[in-house]
Amino acid sequence: MVNWEWSAMTWPELEAKMKETRLVVVPVGSVEQHGHHLGVGADWMQSWEMSRRVGEKTGYPVLPILPYGVSSHHKEFPGVITLSFHTYQKVVEEILGCLAANGVKRVVFINGHGGNNGAIAEAAKEARDKHGILCAITTWWDALGERKVLGHPAEQHAGYAETSFTIVSRPDAVRMNKARLTATKQTDEDIQLVRAGLAKFKGGLVRIPLSTIDVSDTGSMTEAHPDDFRGTTDYSRVTPEFAEGLMDEVVAWLCDFVKEFEGFQDPKRELKRP
C-alpha cells in the first residue's frame, strides 16, 4: 500500500499521516520546449520522478505534480503551455492555503523549472506571514551546485544533466539521435550572452530578458560562448548508467535535505516598534 503519494491515499489515511508529520513535498515543473530531443514535459517528468523517489525513500507525503509553470521566455516554440507569473503565484498560494488547513508547517518544493522560482518565493512569503508555513525551494541544479556534468555547467537547458534526468524518468520522451547542444548565439563583442535572460560583461553578470528563440535555434543551450565548449557537445556520453548515477546523487541530497528541514526552526523575529 502506498503511504507517501497524496493522490493514492484516502482521507482517513491522510488525516492520520498529517498527525505523524507536518512536512509535505510539492513537485512542480513546466511544459516547454527542450530542444529537438526531449519531450516538452521534461521538467515536470524529471521533477515527478525525483519526488516519487524521495517519497518512497522517506515516507513524506508528496502532492500531485503541478505540471504547468512560468515559461513565457519559451513561448515562441510550438507546444509551450505557460501560466502568467501572477496566476502561478496565486495557484501556489492557494495550494499552500489548503496545506495549512491540513496542519502543514514545512513545505519542500521540488522544482524542475527555474522560471517558477520567483512566483513560488512570493507565494511562500505570503504563506509564512498568513499561515506560519515555512517553504524551501529546491532544484536539481542548485543541488548539484558548482559540480560540472561531463565538463559542462549542470544548469544548461536540455543539456547533459536534464537529458540524463529525462532518460531516467521517461525514456520514451527522449530522442537521442536528435540531441544537439547549441552554443548561445552572440551579437556583441563585449556583452556575452549566457542564455535568454543572462549576460556577462567585464567579469560581472547582467540580466537581459530575451526569449530563448533569440539565442538558440534548437532550443537547447550550452549557456555559454561558442568558444568555451568547442567540440564538447557530444551527447553520446550521456549513457543510461551515467544518468541513473546522477539521479541517485540528486535524490540522496533531496532526501537528506527534506529530513533536515522538518526540524528547521523558523528564524522569524519581530522588530519591536515603540
Q: Which is nearer to Zn ion, 71 or 89 (CB)?
A: 71
Q: How many residues bind Zn ion (CB under 5 A)?
A: 2
Distance (Å, rounded) from C-alpha 51 to C-alpha 30?
15
Q: List phi, psi (to 5°) of 64.
A: -60, 150
**Residue among 93 and 155 whose Cβ is closer to Zn ion:** 155
**43 or 223: CB nearest Zn ion:** 43
Supply the minimum distance, in Å, between the C-beta of residue 226 and Zn ion.
Answer: 22
For residue 153, give every residue at least 6 positions away whose Cβ sits within 8 Å of its Cβ, in sequence order, or none. Answer: 159, 223, 224
- Least separation in angstroms between residue 214's CB and Zn ion is 18
User: How far from 220 is each of 10, 110, 179, 215, 243, CA to CA, in Å?
Assistant: 41, 22, 9, 10, 18
Closest CA to 158 of 1, 46, 28: 46
| 155 part of the interface to Zn ion, by CB under 5 A | no
Query: CA 15 to CA 13: how far, in whole Å?
Result: 5
Q: What is the dihedral of CA 65, 70, 75, 80, to 10 degrees?
A: 10
Q: Looking at 37-45, 50-58, 145-153, 248-256, which segment touches Zn ion (CB under 5 A)? A: 37-45
Among 28, 43, 215, 247, binds Zn ion (CB under 5 A): 43
- Identify which range of 93-101, 160-168, 186-194, 205-213 contacts Zn ion by CB under 5 A: 160-168
Find the residue with minimal CB distance to Zn ion.
Answer: 43
Nearer to Zn ion, 58 or 139 (CB): 139
Distance CA 181, CA 194 (A): 14
Cβ atoms of 158 and 166 closer than 8 Å? no
Of 40-48, 86-94, 134-142, 191-199: span binding Zn ion (CB under 5 A):
40-48
| Stretch binding Zn ion (CB under 5 A), from 43-51, 100-108, 170-178, 184-192 | 43-51
Indicate the pairing of strand 198-201 with strand 134-139.
unpaired
**In whole angstroms, how close is the CB of 223 to Zn ion at the nearest point?**
12
Chain residues in the site for Zn ion (CB under 5 A): 43, 162
